Structure 1
Amino acid sequence: MGNITKIAAAAIGLAAVLSASAGEVEVLHYWTSGGEAKSVAELKKMMQAKGHTWRDFAVAGGGGDSAMTVLKSRVISGNPPSAAQTKGPAIQEWAAEGVLANMDPVAKAEKWDEVLPKVVGDIMKYKGSYVAAPVNVHRVNWLWGSSEALKKAGVATMPKNWDEFFADADKLKAAGLIPVAHGGQNWQDFTTFETVVLGTGGAKFYQDALVRLDNKALTSDTMKKSLETFRRIKAYTDPSAPGRDWNLATAMLIQGKAGFQFMGDWAKGEFLAAGKQPGKDFQCAAAPGTANAFTFNVDSFIFFKLKDASARKAQADLAGSIMSPAFQEVFNLNKGSIPVRSGVSMDKFDDCAKLSAKDFAETAKSGSLVPSIAHGMAVPPAIEGAIKDAVSQFWNDDKITVADAMKQIAAAAKTK
């Protein structure tokens, strides 16, 4: 990948690059599907407009697991990229290794503390100092619907609770359609699971069980009910689900072959990239039982320590650009997510995004804004991985009882 110390990290977007010479920036990310790739193209275009060269370091795999493996090997060998897409507790883990740059000067100059919700700002910091810049907010607890499939099955409105959901799933099945589009990757199983827990127990229970990892919550009747509901959903997926990527599951809705999908709002980027319109071709609604809660997934970039002064200046400009209102608008319009900072106009955004932004602001005040465990926001990666494996084993093996699954999840929560 070349000697990173010779590469001047370049500013992307709108921040003026006055003292830094034009250079090359290498950015590690895992945005490789249609809607995501379009967003990356915007970053590249903005950087090129400033005369810089974008070096794409894309690692496929929607959950980012592969990207993190590659990043670790690069950092261990003393050859990190200029910036890398990382999030949640993993930010603090990288910072604890002493390899990240302190971004407080730009954060203070541009008042990040004032424009970010505290729950998000705290995740971007290590020992009180910013080491990462957030790009967006994804709501994870969405249920997507194919207008074509739902109409064919006689489903008039999106289900608000689990009883309505299963009644609608039966209608889709009777119409010869696949009720739930799902992909067989463990993070997709985990995404559905956390949404079921939120919809069954509410935000406080979710916080106790999947953020605080309280053993009482993890072995409770509410968790038992969550696992029963989760297993019931599996019966409405198709036999070809194992190994399917999430965007191919979304494509099943776009093609009218399946009715519903549990997935974060990056799925909306796929609908939009296919020329589909919200409210007309596809439906968005908070997943059953989760209308007053919000599981968030914030994409962010960590910045590595650089020796060259001009590279450090460019790096600060890059951080400022990522957080600028203009960049947040254009990036999130493409990505299907919403701006993470306040002060960005939502006029150009669609109704799904406007609902997401409204709920994001309201849940931040009410305490129902909770981090997604399935998307690296809630617990350290080792614990997340252990619980994710237990959840997927239960999803994929009907012989595992609910009681045994509960024990396995509770044991995984104690992973060191």
Structure 2
Amino acid sequence: MARAYRTALMAASALVPATLASATELEVTHWWTSGGEAAAVAEFAKAFDAIGHKWVDGAIAGSGGTARPIMISRITGGDPMGATQFNHGQQAQELVEAGLMRDLTDLAEAEGWKDLVNPPSLLDSCTLDGKIYCVPVNIHSQQWLWLSNAAFEQAGVAVPTNWDEFVAAAPALREAGILPLAMGQQPWQTTLAFQVILTAILGPEGYTRVFGDKDAEFAGGPEMAEVFQAAATAREMSQGSNVQDWNQATNLVITDKAGGQIMGDWAQGEFQVAGEVAGEDYTCLPGLGVNEVIMTGGDAFYFPKVDDADITQAQEDLASVMMSPETQVAFNLKKGSLPVRGDVDLAAANDCMKKGLDILAEGNTISSPDQLVSPDSLSQINDLFVEFFNDPNLGPEEAQEIFAGLIADAG
């Protein structure tokens, strides 16, 4: 459908309520269920409903690791939803190769996505054999440390500006009855923390040598040894963090019961729902205040093939709406993420989002491990990170030796 027609359709839909006959229900599955996430996904639903369709919410409680097998099972089992969330990377590649996902190339070319999406690697992650199979909706970076300003005030120490200062403040936080580092017990959260620490200490070049080049010698060297020592320190700082979900850990920071949390920028949505003000109530340190970098991970939506022409049209309309500048702004301001379009106005961005935008503008970006490492290899590496955080008897030296071997064999 041509861009001019879409523009006219959206303008008209704002003025004329959709009739029941013109509305098509489209089930959309995702794993966004926290307060901030729900507020963000509601912006997608509102924009889709406004053009005459009906968003049927298919939220699946839990993390992506819980939701993805359910989504894949439905698609391969002949019960596809209208649209489904995956992360950027290779998570849906086998479904695409099996011919189960819609080709969005015509829409992407008509709307000029290649000229709009920044960085281009996001659209590359949607592309297989020159065809585009998904619509990227945000840039999520996990490289953040979130700090409670009041917690450090109570402990009588200054709010840290980097990881080393945070580590140095941990004893004072403990003495004040404040947990230094909040961390949920789900495996992906410890994996995330380890990856963030790795990137902060090694920097973008070192990160790429490990995950991009699969440099096993570097992975077993002295630079990587510093990473495992820092992870051991984080493991000690998080002792006593008995919450399960990531947003429960974020709430410990919001309520000043914990000094900080290593978590992606989606945590920002929880701070906003709680009425917290960036730069006043909480502080955000991209790259742990050591190496300021944005990991160009995030979320994309895929559209399973169906035989229903009405559903097919609704899928295309939803893809277009998700990429529209108005929806990009509304969704990402609530989600705490950055828009994938490089041409949108984010004057309403808060202090933390502005930091992210500045880093993105400077080109300080890295690809996510999902985009660099095969799913099987990454699963083995992540299992090691989880075991390390959960088993104090696994020392940094032993864990690094195992890690270097996994990198050597990684696909």
**TM-score of the pair, normalised by structure 2:** 0.90
What is the distance in 2 between the residues matched to 1:163 and 1:274? 28
CA distance change for structure 1 residues 206 and 15 in 2, over 3 Å: closer, same or farther? Answer: farther
CA distance in 1, matches of 2:12, 2:398: 57
The 1:236/1:15 distance shift into structure 2, 3 A limit, reads: farther
What is the deviation of 1:14?
4.4
CA, structure 1 residues 76+91, in 2 after alignment: closer, same or farther (shift >3 Å)? closer
Distance in structure 2 (CA, Å) of the matches to 1:313 and 1:51: 12
CA contact (8 A) 1:200 1:225 kept: yes
Paired residues of 1:100 and 1:131 also in contact (CA < 8 A):
yes
The CA distance in 1 between the partners of 2:93 and 2:52, in whole Å, is: 33
Matched, 1:230 2:224: no
1:262-411 matched pairs, under 5 angstroms:
262-288=262-288, 290-363=290-363, 368-373=364-369, 376-411=370-405
What is the letter of the counterpart of residue 285 of structure 2? A
Pairing 1:140–2:142 present: yes
Distance (whole Å) between structure 2 residues aligned to residue 15 and residue 46 of structure 1: 12
Q: 1:277 to 1:193 in 2, by over 3 A?
A: same
- 1:258 corresponding residue in structure 2: 258
Asked if residue 153 in structure 1 is aligned to residue 155 in structure 2, the reply is yes
Question: CA offset at residue 172 of structure 1?
Answer: 1.6
What are the within-5 Å matches in structure 2 for residues 42-191 of structure 1? Answer: 42-62=43-63, 64-87=64-87, 88-116=89-117, 117-160=119-162, 162-191=163-192
Which residue identity does 1:346 align to in structure 2? L
Give the aligned residue type for 1:71. Answer: M
In 1, Cα distance between equivalents of 2:392 and 2:331:
41
Which one-letter code corresponds to 2:320 in the other structure? G
Which secondary structure state, in structure 1, belongs to the residue aligned with residue 296 of structure 2?
strand
Q: Find runs of 4+ consecutive structure 1 residues off by over 6 angstroms.
A: 15-18
**What secondary structure sits across from 1:213 in the alignment?**
coil
Give 1:347 deviation, angstroms: 0.5
- For residue 45 of structure 1, report the CA deviation from its aligned partner: 2.2
Larger fraction in helix: 2
Residues 193-225 of structure 1, C-alpha deviations (whole Å, 9 max, x = no match)? 111111111101101112333212221221111
Report the counterpart of residue 208 of structure 1 in structure 2: 209
Gaps of 5+ in 1: 1-12
Alignment partners' CA distance in 1, 2:349 and 2:76: 41
Structure 2 residue matching 1:288: 3-state secondary structure: helix
Per-residue CA deviations over 1:126-162 (Å, capped at 9, x if unaligned) read: 11211010111112111101011021123334332x4
Post-superposition shift, 1:377? 4.1
Distance in 1, matches of 2:75 and 2:224, equals 39
Greater mean alpha carbon deviation, residues 27-36 or residues 95-104: 95-104
Q: Quote how far apart the aligned CAs of 1:415 are.
A: 5.7
Given that residues 140 and 296 in structure 1 are in contact (C-alpha distance below 8 angstroms), is that contact kept between their aligned partners in structure 2? no
| 1:258-281 deviation digits (Å, cap 9, x = unpaired) | 111100111010010111111111
Q: Percent identity?
A: 37
SS of the residue corresponding to residue 158 of structure 2 reads: coil
The AA in structure 1 aligned to 2:319 is: A
Q: Does the CA-based 8 Å contact 2:22-2:52 persist in structure 1?
A: no
- Number of equivalent positions: 394
Please tell me whether the aligned partners of residues 169 and 236 of structure 1 are also in contact (alpha carbons under 8 angstroms).
yes
Query: For 1:296 and 1:186, how far apart are their aligned partners in 2?
Result: 21
Say if 1:16 and 1:262 are closer, same or farther in 2 by CA, change over 3 A.
Answer: farther
1:232-263 Cα offsets, whole Å, 9 max, x none, are: 1111113243x611100000011111111100
The amino acid of 2:160's aligned partner reads M
Structure 2: give runs of 5+ residues left out of the alignment. 1-8
Instruction: Report the Cα offset of residue 227 of structure 1.
Output: 0.6
The letter of the residue matching 1:356 is G
Match of 1:217 in 2: 218
Once the two structures are superposed, what CA deviation does each residue of 1:163-205 show, in whole Å capped at 9, x if it has no partner? 3221122222232211111111111111111111111111011
Cα deviations by residue, 1:71-101 (Å, 9 ceiling, x for unpaired):
1211221111111101211133321222111
* Alpha-carbon separation, structure 2, partners of 1:121 and 1:34: 28
Contact residue 181 and residue 241 of structure 2 kept, 8 A:
no
When structure 1 is superposed on structure 2, of 163-172 and 144-153 the one drifting more is 163-172
CA contact (8 A) 1:140 1:191 kept: yes
